[in-house]
Amino acid sequence: MRIAIDMDEVLADPISKFVSRYNQDYNVPLDLTMEPGYEFFHHIPEHINHKWYDYINEAGFFRDLPLIEGSVEAVKKLQEEHDVYIVSAATEFRNSLVDKYDWLSEHFPFISWKNIVFCGNKIIKADVLIDDRIKNFVDFDGRKLLFTSPHNLLVTDYERVDNWQQVLEKIQQQPAAKL
């Protein structure tokens, strides 16, 4: 089975880095409460909420993102039995390409460069797509696993996974039909 996995908010945690940067630059509290259905920047004071775009375009922003808990172990397990690809819309932010490649090489060295897809639109053919953004499910024909993030908590139209243990359980319980 071919499994495609998104990076940001699925393998890597950019939200905690945004919160940390806002706290460092503007003294926005680290205990920022994320309301369901909203992006993190909707919770930032209006006069500085545009700054996220500057952060995300900086060289190095994506290089040191924290891991989503359990992601490395789960992806290793998936790779033992499946064809795993990392699929990221890395071309959206020019400086993210090298950062994301280096981040993957550090944290997921067992994923071959041949199994890393940096793209704009995720027009991929796979049996399963694990992603936090429903826009990536629109033209996807396989099984859609929505990885929980604050911005998608109000979405109910997709099969949801809250963590990597649930991903493993769902794929083991109900494997997708092979391509």
Q: What DSSP state is assigned to residue 113?
A: G
Listed range (32-36, 56-60, 76-80, 161-165) with the worst mean pLDDT:
32-36
Give the residue extent of every domain in the chain. Answer: 2-13+66-173, 14-57
The model's pTM: 0.91
DSSP string, 133-171: -GGGGTT--SEEEEE--GGGTT--SSEEESSHHHHHHHH
Query: Exposure pattern of 14-42 as b/e (b: 16+ CB <10 Å)?
Result: bbebbbebbeeeeebeeeeebeeeebbbe
Q: Please, which residues bridge with residue 145 across strands?
A: 130, 159
Q: How far apart are CA 23 and CA 55, in angstroms?
A: 13
Q: Which residues have a catalytic role annotated?
A: 6, 8
CATH of domain 2-13+66-173: 3.40.50.1000
The overall average pLDDT reported for the chain is 91
Q: What percent of the chain has pLDDT over 70?
A: 93
